[in-house]
Protein backbone atom coordinates (compact mmCIF):
# COMPACT_ATOMS: atom_id res chain seq x y z
CA UNK A 1 0.00 0.00 0.00
CA UNK A 2 1.81 3.18 -1.13
CA UNK A 3 1.86 6.11 1.28
CA UNK A 4 0.02 8.66 -0.89
CA UNK A 5 0.25 11.38 1.73
CA UNK A 6 4.03 11.10 1.80
CA UNK A 7 4.14 11.48 -1.98
CA UNK A 8 1.77 14.48 -1.95
CA UNK A 9 3.66 16.52 0.66
CA UNK A 10 6.93 15.99 -1.18
CA UNK A 11 6.05 17.07 -4.69
CA UNK A 12 4.37 19.81 -6.66
CA UNK A 13 1.69 22.25 -5.49
CA UNK A 14 0.47 19.93 -2.75
CA UNK A 15 3.93 20.19 -1.15
CA UNK A 16 3.61 23.98 -1.02
CA UNK A 17 0.11 23.70 0.37
CA UNK A 18 1.21 21.31 3.08
CA UNK A 19 4.01 23.68 4.05
CA UNK A 20 1.64 26.67 4.26
CA UNK A 21 -0.82 24.70 6.36
CA UNK A 22 1.92 23.48 8.65
CA UNK A 23 1.00 19.86 8.00
CA UNK A 24 3.46 17.16 8.97
CA UNK A 25 5.86 16.67 6.07
CA UNK A 26 7.56 13.30 6.27
CA UNK A 27 10.70 13.10 4.15
CA UNK A 28 11.40 10.48 1.53
CA UNK A 29 14.03 8.33 3.22
CA UNK A 30 17.18 7.41 1.36
CA UNK A 31 17.71 3.66 1.41
CA UNK A 32 20.92 1.73 1.00
CA UNK A 33 21.97 0.28 -2.32
CA UNK A 34 25.40 -1.23 -2.92
CA UNK A 35 27.87 1.47 -3.85
CA UNK A 36 26.02 4.20 -1.96
CA UNK A 37 28.31 6.56 0.00
CA UNK A 38 28.53 5.75 3.69
CA UNK A 39 27.65 9.31 4.69
CA UNK A 40 26.39 12.12 2.45
CA UNK A 41 28.72 14.95 3.42
CA UNK A 42 31.41 15.66 6.01
CA UNK A 43 31.27 14.10 9.47
CA UNK A 44 31.75 16.08 12.66
CA UNK A 45 33.20 14.09 15.55
CA UNK A 46 32.63 15.90 18.86
CA UNK A 47 33.96 14.92 22.26
CA UNK A 48 37.26 14.68 24.04
CA UNK A 49 39.53 11.80 24.89
CA UNK A 50 41.09 8.74 23.36
CA UNK A 51 37.77 7.28 22.22
CA UNK A 52 36.86 10.35 20.21
CA UNK A 53 40.36 10.43 18.71
CA UNK A 54 40.23 6.74 17.82
CA UNK A 55 36.86 7.04 16.11
CA UNK A 56 37.92 10.18 14.24
CA UNK A 57 40.97 8.31 12.96
CA UNK A 58 38.83 5.36 11.93
CA UNK A 59 36.34 7.53 10.06
CA UNK A 60 38.98 9.60 8.31
CA UNK A 61 41.56 6.87 7.70
CA UNK A 62 42.33 5.70 4.17
CA UNK A 63 40.15 2.91 2.84
CA UNK A 64 43.19 1.03 1.60
CA UNK A 65 44.31 0.39 5.17
CA UNK A 66 46.30 2.10 7.86
CA UNK A 67 49.55 0.84 9.27
CA UNK A 68 48.90 -0.72 12.68
CA UNK A 69 50.79 2.02 14.49
CA UNK A 70 48.81 4.81 12.93
CA UNK A 71 45.48 3.04 13.28
CA UNK A 72 43.18 3.21 16.25
CA UNK A 73 45.70 3.41 18.99
CA UNK A 74 43.51 1.70 21.55
CA UNK A 75 43.85 -1.68 19.88
CA UNK A 76 44.73 -4.27 22.51
CA UNK A 77 45.33 -7.98 22.55
CA UNK A 78 41.63 -8.79 22.53
CA UNK A 79 40.57 -5.95 20.28
CA UNK A 80 42.12 -6.27 16.85
CA UNK A 81 43.77 -3.21 15.44
CA UNK A 82 41.64 -1.69 12.71
CA UNK A 83 43.46 -1.42 9.49
CA UNK A 84 40.77 -0.09 7.18
CA UNK A 85 39.67 3.48 7.55
CA UNK A 86 36.40 4.72 6.13
CA UNK A 87 37.90 7.55 4.10
CA UNK A 88 35.36 10.17 5.22
CA UNK A 89 35.90 13.93 5.51
CA UNK A 90 36.06 14.34 9.29
CA UNK A 91 36.03 17.57 11.30
CA UNK A 92 36.83 17.73 15.01
CA UNK A 93 35.43 21.24 15.46
CA UNK A 94 32.30 22.71 13.87
CA UNK A 95 33.24 24.75 10.85
CA UNK A 96 30.91 27.62 10.02
CA UNK A 97 28.86 27.30 6.85
CA UNK A 98 29.56 23.58 6.55
CA UNK A 99 26.50 21.39 6.26
CA UNK A 100 27.35 18.08 7.86
CA UNK A 101 26.11 14.70 6.81
CA UNK A 102 26.57 13.30 10.29
CA UNK A 103 27.47 14.33 13.80
CA UNK A 104 29.11 11.77 16.08
CA UNK A 105 28.96 12.69 19.74
CA UNK A 106 31.54 10.68 21.66
CA UNK A 107 30.50 10.98 25.29
CA UNK A 108 32.33 8.04 26.83
CA UNK A 109 34.62 10.32 28.79
CA UNK A 110 31.80 12.10 30.63
CA UNK A 111 32.07 11.34 34.34
CA UNK A 112 29.85 14.17 35.57
CA UNK A 113 26.70 15.59 34.00
CA UNK A 114 28.38 18.95 33.34
CA UNK A 115 30.95 17.21 31.14
CA UNK A 116 28.17 16.61 28.65
CA UNK A 117 27.60 20.30 28.23
CA UNK A 118 30.42 21.30 25.87
CA UNK A 119 30.07 18.55 23.26
CA UNK A 120 26.28 18.64 23.32
CA UNK A 121 26.01 22.39 22.94
CA UNK A 122 28.72 22.33 20.28
CA UNK A 123 26.44 20.02 18.30
CA UNK A 124 23.58 22.52 18.20
CA UNK A 125 24.74 24.55 15.20
CA UNK A 126 25.86 21.59 13.10
CA UNK A 127 22.58 19.76 13.85
CA UNK A 128 20.66 22.82 12.68
CA UNK A 129 22.53 22.73 9.38
CA UNK A 130 22.42 18.93 9.08
CA UNK A 131 21.82 17.74 5.52
CA UNK A 132 18.60 15.91 4.79
CA UNK A 133 18.89 12.26 5.66
CA UNK A 134 21.61 13.24 8.12
CA UNK A 135 22.77 11.22 11.10
CA UNK A 136 23.43 11.96 14.74
CA UNK A 137 25.11 9.12 16.61
CA UNK A 138 26.03 9.21 20.27
CA UNK A 139 28.70 6.90 21.64
CA UNK A 140 28.48 6.41 25.38
CA UNK A 141 28.79 3.87 28.15
CA UNK A 142 26.03 2.06 30.05
CA UNK A 143 25.11 3.35 33.47
CA UNK A 144 25.06 0.62 36.10
CA UNK A 145 24.34 0.39 39.79
CA UNK A 146 28.06 -0.17 40.39
CA UNK A 147 29.01 3.21 38.95
CA UNK A 148 29.65 6.26 41.06
CA UNK A 149 26.37 8.23 41.18
CA UNK A 150 27.74 11.12 39.14
CA UNK A 151 29.12 8.74 36.49
CA UNK A 152 25.82 6.88 36.24
CA UNK A 153 23.93 10.16 36.05
CA UNK A 154 26.07 11.44 33.20
CA UNK A 155 25.83 8.14 31.32
CA UNK A 156 22.09 7.71 31.81
CA UNK A 157 21.65 11.33 30.78
CA UNK A 158 22.77 10.43 27.28
CA UNK A 159 19.68 8.25 27.00
CA UNK A 160 17.28 11.17 27.40
CA UNK A 161 19.48 13.43 25.30
CA UNK A 162 19.52 11.08 22.31
CA UNK A 163 15.82 10.19 22.44
CA UNK A 164 14.86 13.86 22.58
CA UNK A 165 17.31 15.01 19.96
CA UNK A 166 16.08 12.28 17.61
CA UNK A 167 12.56 13.68 17.96
CA UNK A 168 13.80 17.13 17.02
CA UNK A 169 15.50 16.07 13.78
CA UNK A 170 13.72 16.66 10.48
CA UNK A 171 14.25 15.88 6.83
CA UNK A 172 14.62 12.14 7.29
CA UNK A 173 17.56 12.56 9.65
CA UNK A 174 17.89 10.10 12.51
CA UNK A 175 19.57 9.94 15.88
CA UNK A 176 20.81 6.72 17.44
CA UNK A 177 23.33 5.69 20.05
CA UNK A 178 25.99 3.07 20.55
CA UNK A 179 26.22 2.19 24.23
CA UNK A 180 29.34 0.38 25.37
CA UNK A 181 28.91 -2.06 28.23
CA UNK A 182 31.57 -2.37 30.95
CA UNK A 183 35.03 -1.74 29.55
CA UNK A 184 34.30 -2.72 25.96
CA UNK A 185 36.58 -0.48 23.88
CA UNK A 186 35.12 1.93 21.38
CA UNK A 187 36.98 0.05 18.66
CA UNK A 188 35.37 -3.32 19.45
CA UNK A 189 34.10 -4.88 16.20
CA UNK A 190 30.45 -4.60 17.20
CA UNK A 191 30.87 -1.00 18.36
CA UNK A 192 32.47 -0.07 15.07
CA UNK A 193 29.87 -2.01 13.10
CA UNK A 194 26.98 -0.47 15.04
CA UNK A 195 28.37 3.02 14.48
CA UNK A 196 28.70 2.31 10.78
CA UNK A 197 25.17 0.88 10.63
CA UNK A 198 23.71 3.98 12.29
CA UNK A 199 25.70 6.32 10.04
CA UNK A 200 24.71 4.48 6.88
CA UNK A 201 21.51 4.41 4.86
CA UNK A 202 20.95 0.86 6.11
CA UNK A 203 19.44 2.33 9.26
CA UNK A 204 17.04 4.67 7.40
CA UNK A 205 14.03 3.77 9.59
CA UNK A 206 15.92 3.14 12.85
CA UNK A 207 15.54 6.24 14.98
CA UNK A 208 15.92 7.15 18.63
CA UNK A 209 17.50 3.82 19.52
CA UNK A 210 20.37 3.06 21.87
CA UNK A 211 22.06 -0.22 21.04
CA UNK A 212 24.26 -1.85 23.65
CA UNK A 213 27.53 -3.51 22.74
CA UNK A 214 28.24 -6.19 25.31
CA UNK A 215 31.60 -7.64 24.34
CA UNK A 216 34.60 -7.50 22.06
CA UNK A 217 33.35 -10.54 20.13
CA UNK A 218 32.68 -10.34 16.42
CA UNK A 219 34.69 -10.15 13.23
CA UNK A 220 34.82 -7.15 10.95
CA UNK A 221 34.18 -7.95 7.28
CA UNK A 222 36.86 -7.87 4.62
CA UNK A 223 34.35 -6.02 2.45
CA UNK A 224 31.68 -3.81 4.05
CA UNK A 225 29.49 -4.31 1.00
CA UNK A 226 29.52 -8.13 1.44
CA UNK A 227 29.48 -8.60 5.21
CA UNK A 228 27.75 -11.99 4.88
CA UNK A 229 30.01 -13.39 2.19
CA UNK A 230 29.94 -17.19 2.25
CA UNK A 231 27.52 -17.40 5.19
CA UNK A 232 24.53 -19.74 4.98
CA UNK A 233 21.29 -18.22 6.25
CA UNK A 234 17.84 -19.68 6.81
CA UNK A 235 14.93 -17.23 6.71
CA UNK A 236 11.45 -18.35 7.78
CA UNK A 237 8.34 -16.66 6.47
CA UNK A 238 10.38 -15.76 3.41
CA UNK A 239 7.62 -15.91 0.78
CA UNK A 240 6.31 -12.40 1.31
CA UNK A 241 6.69 -9.03 2.97
CA UNK A 242 9.44 -8.59 5.53
CA UNK A 243 10.69 -12.18 5.14
CA UNK A 244 11.14 -11.81 1.38
CA UNK A 245 13.00 -8.53 1.96
CA UNK A 246 15.25 -10.24 4.51
CA UNK A 247 16.05 -13.01 2.01
CA UNK A 248 16.92 -10.43 -0.65
CA UNK A 249 19.00 -8.32 1.71
CA UNK A 250 20.99 -11.22 3.15
CA UNK A 251 21.67 -12.46 -0.39
CA UNK A 252 22.74 -8.96 -1.45
CA UNK A 253 25.18 -8.94 1.45
CA UNK A 254 26.69 -12.21 0.22
CA UNK A 255 24.79 -14.97 2.06
CA UNK A 256 23.46 -18.22 0.60
CA UNK A 257 19.78 -18.08 1.55
CA UNK A 258 17.47 -20.96 2.36
CA UNK A 259 13.98 -19.51 2.06
CA UNK A 260 11.43 -21.26 4.27
CA UNK A 261 7.67 -20.88 4.26
CA UNK A 262 4.54 -23.02 4.51
CA UNK A 263 3.70 -25.18 1.47
CA UNK A 264 0.64 -23.03 0.77
CA UNK A 265 2.95 -20.08 0.05
CA UNK A 266 5.11 -22.17 -2.26
CA UNK A 267 4.55 -20.14 -5.39
CA UNK A 268 5.80 -16.88 -3.86
CA UNK A 269 8.54 -18.77 -2.04
CA UNK A 270 9.77 -20.18 -5.33
CA UNK A 271 9.94 -16.68 -6.82
CA UNK A 272 11.94 -15.37 -3.86
CA UNK A 273 14.31 -18.35 -3.81
CA UNK A 274 14.98 -18.09 -7.52
CA UNK A 275 15.46 -14.32 -7.31
CA UNK A 276 18.08 -14.59 -4.55
CA UNK A 277 19.70 -17.67 -6.11
CA UNK A 278 18.93 -19.63 -2.97
CA UNK A 279 16.84 -22.69 -2.20
CA UNK A 280 13.19 -23.02 -1.21
CA UNK A 281 12.26 -25.25 1.69
CA UNK A 282 8.52 -25.73 2.11
CA UNK A 283 8.03 -26.31 5.79
CA UNK A 284 5.55 -25.53 8.53
CA UNK A 285 7.77 -24.16 11.29
CA UNK A 286 5.37 -25.51 13.89
CA UNK A 287 6.11 -29.10 12.79
CA UNK A 288 7.78 -31.06 15.56
CA UNK A 289 10.73 -31.91 13.31
CA UNK A 290 11.09 -28.46 11.70
CA UNK A 291 14.56 -27.91 13.19
CA UNK A 292 15.79 -31.32 12.04
CA UNK A 293 14.45 -30.75 8.54
CA UNK A 294 16.18 -27.37 8.33
CA UNK A 295 19.44 -28.92 9.51
CA UNK A 296 19.10 -31.81 7.09
CA UNK A 297 18.58 -29.37 4.22
CA UNK A 298 21.51 -27.08 5.01
CA UNK A 299 23.86 -29.96 5.80
CA UNK A 300 23.17 -31.62 2.46
CA UNK A 301 23.13 -28.51 0.31
CA UNK A 302 25.62 -26.17 1.94
CA UNK A 303 27.44 -28.22 4.56
CA UNK A 304 26.88 -25.52 7.17
CA UNK A 305 24.47 -23.15 8.88
CA UNK A 306 25.50 -19.74 10.15
CA UNK A 307 22.41 -17.58 10.44
CA UNK A 308 18.88 -18.48 11.54
CA UNK A 309 16.32 -15.74 10.98
CA UNK A 310 13.01 -16.43 12.73
CA UNK A 311 10.64 -14.20 10.84
CA UNK A 312 7.54 -16.37 10.29
CA UNK A 313 4.65 -14.86 12.17
CA UNK A 314 0.89 -14.54 12.16
CA UNK A 315 -1.70 -12.25 13.75
CA UNK A 316 -5.11 -13.36 15.03
CA UNK A 317 -6.28 -10.12 16.64
CA UNK A 318 -9.15 -10.16 19.16
CA UNK A 319 -9.80 -8.53 22.49
CA UNK A 320 -8.92 -11.01 25.21
CA UNK A 321 -12.57 -11.18 26.29
CA UNK A 322 -13.47 -12.45 22.81
CA UNK A 323 -10.37 -14.63 22.32
CA UNK A 324 -11.09 -18.15 21.10
CA UNK A 325 -8.51 -20.62 22.45
CA UNK A 326 -7.16 -21.51 19.01
CA UNK A 327 -6.54 -17.84 18.15
CA UNK A 328 -4.39 -17.57 21.24
CA UNK A 329 -2.54 -20.85 20.78
CA UNK A 330 -1.89 -20.62 17.05
CA UNK A 331 -0.20 -17.22 17.43
CA UNK A 332 2.03 -18.48 20.22
CA UNK A 333 2.76 -21.70 18.34
CA UNK A 334 3.93 -19.95 15.17
CA UNK A 335 5.50 -16.78 16.57
CA UNK A 336 7.29 -18.16 19.60
CA UNK A 337 7.12 -21.88 20.36
CA UNK A 338 8.37 -22.85 16.89
CA UNK A 339 11.42 -20.62 17.40
CA UNK A 340 12.22 -22.19 20.74
CA UNK A 341 11.95 -25.69 19.27
CA UNK A 342 14.07 -24.90 16.20
CA UNK A 343 16.71 -23.15 18.35
CA UNK A 344 16.94 -26.20 20.57
CA UNK A 345 17.53 -28.39 17.53
CA UNK A 346 20.22 -26.03 16.22
CA UNK A 347 21.95 -25.65 19.58
CA UNK A 348 22.11 -29.39 20.20
CA UNK A 349 23.13 -30.27 16.64
CA UNK A 350 26.82 -29.47 16.94
CA UNK A 351 26.58 -27.83 13.53
CA UNK A 352 25.77 -24.29 14.66
CA UNK A 353 29.13 -23.35 16.07
CA UNK A 354 31.00 -21.02 13.68
CA UNK A 355 30.04 -17.55 14.93
CA UNK A 356 26.36 -18.54 14.68
CA UNK A 357 23.67 -15.88 14.63
CA UNK A 358 20.00 -16.09 15.54
CA UNK A 359 17.91 -13.07 14.63
CA UNK A 360 14.23 -13.12 15.56
CA UNK A 361 11.45 -10.75 14.60
CA UNK A 362 9.78 -9.21 17.65
CA UNK A 363 7.45 -6.22 17.42
CA UNK A 364 6.83 -2.87 19.07
CA UNK A 365 3.55 -4.49 20.13
CA UNK A 366 5.63 -6.75 22.31
CA UNK A 367 7.28 -3.74 23.93
CA UNK A 368 4.45 -1.26 24.30
CA UNK A 369 1.40 -3.50 24.03
CA UNK A 370 -1.43 -3.07 21.57
CA UNK A 371 -5.17 -3.28 22.10
CA UNK A 372 -6.55 -6.43 20.51
CA UNK A 373 -3.16 -8.12 20.43
CA UNK A 374 -2.76 -9.88 23.77
CA UNK A 375 -1.79 -13.05 21.93
CA UNK A 376 0.53 -11.36 19.42
CA UNK A 377 2.18 -9.10 22.01
CA UNK A 378 2.71 -12.06 24.34
CA UNK A 379 4.47 -13.92 21.56
CA UNK A 380 6.58 -10.95 20.52
CA UNK A 381 7.57 -10.00 24.07
CA UNK A 382 8.37 -13.69 24.45
CA UNK A 383 10.76 -13.42 21.52
CA UNK A 384 12.59 -10.59 23.28
CA UNK A 385 12.98 -12.75 26.36
CA UNK A 386 13.96 -15.74 24.26
CA UNK A 387 16.89 -14.02 22.50
CA UNK A 388 18.11 -12.56 25.79
CA UNK A 389 18.33 -16.05 27.28
CA UNK A 390 19.52 -17.80 24.10
CA UNK A 391 22.40 -15.47 23.27
CA UNK A 392 24.60 -16.51 26.23
CA UNK A 393 24.29 -20.14 25.11
CA UNK A 394 25.83 -19.19 21.77
CA UNK A 395 28.58 -16.92 23.13
CA UNK A 396 31.06 -19.81 23.63
CA UNK A 397 30.95 -20.36 19.87
CA UNK A 398 31.39 -16.69 19.02
CA UNK A 399 27.67 -16.62 18.47
CA UNK A 400 24.78 -14.51 19.57
CA UNK A 401 21.01 -14.11 19.33
CA UNK A 402 19.21 -10.82 18.92
CA UNK A 403 15.85 -9.50 17.83
CA UNK A 404 14.49 -6.70 15.74
CA UNK A 405 11.23 -5.03 16.72
CA UNK A 406 9.48 -3.50 13.71
CA UNK A 407 7.03 -0.70 14.24
CA UNK A 408 4.57 0.25 11.50
CA UNK A 409 5.91 -1.37 8.31
CA UNK A 410 4.17 -1.16 4.94
CA UNK A 411 3.22 -4.79 4.31
CA UNK A 412 0.20 -6.82 3.26
CA UNK A 413 -0.51 -7.21 6.96
CA UNK A 414 -0.67 -3.47 7.69
CA UNK A 415 -2.47 -2.82 4.39
CA UNK A 416 -5.46 -4.62 5.94
CA UNK A 417 -5.72 -2.01 8.70
CA UNK A 418 -8.69 0.35 8.06
CA UNK A 419 -7.60 3.38 5.99
CA UNK A 420 -7.94 6.12 8.60
CA UNK A 421 -6.37 4.06 11.36
CA UNK A 422 -3.54 3.24 8.99
CA UNK A 423 -2.94 6.92 8.15
CA UNK A 424 -2.74 7.80 11.83
CA UNK A 425 -0.56 4.83 12.69
CA UNK A 426 1.94 5.81 10.00
CA UNK A 427 2.45 9.30 11.44
CA UNK A 428 2.96 8.24 15.04
CA UNK A 429 6.74 8.25 14.88
CA UNK A 430 9.51 10.76 14.51
CA UNK A 431 9.89 10.08 10.79
CA UNK A 432 6.10 10.47 10.34
CA UNK A 433 5.82 7.50 7.99
CA UNK A 434 5.68 3.75 7.87
CA UNK A 435 8.87 1.82 7.27
CA UNK A 436 9.49 -0.55 4.39
CA UNK A 437 10.23 -4.27 4.68
CA UNK A 438 13.76 -3.46 3.51
CA UNK A 439 14.30 -1.32 6.61
CA UNK A 440 13.66 -4.29 8.88
CA UNK A 441 15.75 -6.49 6.63
CA UNK A 442 18.75 -4.13 6.92
CA UNK A 443 18.63 -4.37 10.71
CA UNK A 444 18.37 -8.16 10.49
CA UNK A 445 21.33 -8.29 8.10
CA UNK A 446 23.37 -6.15 10.49
CA UNK A 447 22.60 -8.37 13.48
CA UNK A 448 23.25 -11.47 11.35
CA UNK A 449 26.71 -10.28 10.32
CA UNK A 450 29.91 -11.63 11.87
CA UNK A 451 30.65 -8.10 13.12
CA UNK A 452 27.60 -8.15 15.43
CA UNK A 453 28.99 -10.87 17.71
CA UNK A 454 29.39 -8.45 20.58
CA UNK A 455 25.69 -7.56 20.64
CA UNK A 456 24.30 -10.19 22.97
CA UNK A 457 20.58 -10.83 23.43
CA UNK A 458 19.40 -7.35 22.48
CA UNK A 459 16.33 -6.10 20.66
CA UNK A 460 16.75 -3.35 18.11
CA UNK A 461 13.65 -1.36 17.22
CA UNK A 462 13.01 -0.48 13.58
CA UNK A 463 10.14 1.90 14.10
CA UNK A 464 11.17 5.44 13.11
CA UNK A 465 11.09 6.20 16.86
CA UNK A 466 7.50 5.19 17.40
CA UNK A 467 5.88 7.26 20.12
CA UNK A 468 4.95 4.20 22.16
CA UNK A 469 7.26 2.23 24.37
CA UNK A 470 10.96 2.79 24.82
> Where in the sequence numbering do the catalytic residues fall?
376
Q: Which of 137, 132, 207 is nearest to 463 (CA)?
A: 207
Cβ(291)–Cβ(297) under 8 Å? no
Among 67, 77, 145, 300, binds other proteins (CB under 8 A): 300
Phi-psi label, residue 446: left if phi above 0, alpha if psi -120 to 50, beta otherwise: alpha
Q: What is the DSSP letter of 428?
A: S
Q: Which of 231, 182, 173, 169 is nearest to 204 (CA)?
A: 173
Closest distance to other proteins from the beta carbon of 284 (Å)? 7
Cβ(231)–Cβ(306) under 8 Å? yes
Cα 136 to Cα 199: distance, rounded to the nearest angstrom? 8
Which uninterrupted H or E stretch holds 90? strand 90-91
Nearest to other proteins of 114, 296 (CB atom): 296
Position 314 contacts other proteins (CB under 8 A): no
Position 470 contacts other proteins (CB under 8 A): no
Closest distance to other proteins from the beta carbon of 270 (Å)? 4
Position 284 contacts other proteins (CB under 8 A): yes
Among 26, 218, 278, 457, binds other proteins (CB under 8 A): 278
Q: Which of residues 224-263 bind other proteins (CB under 8 A)?
A: 259, 263
Nearest to other proteins of 35, 303 (CB atom): 303
Among 273, 295, 391, 462, binds other proteins (CB under 8 A): 273
Among 301, 304, 316, 388, binds other proteins (CB under 8 A): 301
Nearest to other proteins of 96, 303 (CB atom): 303
Among 269, 436, 444, 452, binds other proteins (CB under 8 A): 269
Nearest to other proteins of 137, 238 (CB atom): 238
Which uninterrupted H or E stretch holds 300? helix 290-301
Which stretch, 14-22, 109-117, 296-304, 350-358, contacts other proteins (CB under 8 A)? 296-304
Q: Which of 172, 162, 201, 194 is nearest to 38 (CA)?
A: 201
Q: Which of 332, 315, 428 is nearest to 381 (CA)?
A: 332
Closest distance to other proteins from the beta carbon of 64 (Å)? 33
Among 181, 270, 349, 353, binds other proteins (CB under 8 A): 270
Q: b/e for 276-286, b at 16 or more Cβ within 10 A? A: bebbbbbbbbb
Among 97, 146, 183, 267, binds other proteins (CB under 8 A): 267
Residues that contact other proteins, how many (by CB under 8 A): 24
CA-based radius of gyration for the chain: 22
Residues at the site binding other proteins, with contacts judged by CB under 8 A: 259, 263-267, 269-271, 273-274, 277-284, 287, 300-303
Amino acid sequence: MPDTYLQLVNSGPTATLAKRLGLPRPAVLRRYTPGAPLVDGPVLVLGRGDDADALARLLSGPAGGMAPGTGTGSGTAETPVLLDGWDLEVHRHPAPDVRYGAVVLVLTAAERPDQLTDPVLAAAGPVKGLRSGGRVVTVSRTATADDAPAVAAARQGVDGLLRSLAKELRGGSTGNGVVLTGDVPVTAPSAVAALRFFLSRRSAFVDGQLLAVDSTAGTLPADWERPLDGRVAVVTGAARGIGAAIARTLARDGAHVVAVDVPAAGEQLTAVANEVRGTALQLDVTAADAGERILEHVRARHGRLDVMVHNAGITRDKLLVNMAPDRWSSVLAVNLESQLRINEALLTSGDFTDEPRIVATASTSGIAGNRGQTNYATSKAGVIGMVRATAPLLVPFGGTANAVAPGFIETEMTARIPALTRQVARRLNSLQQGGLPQDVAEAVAFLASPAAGGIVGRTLRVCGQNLVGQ
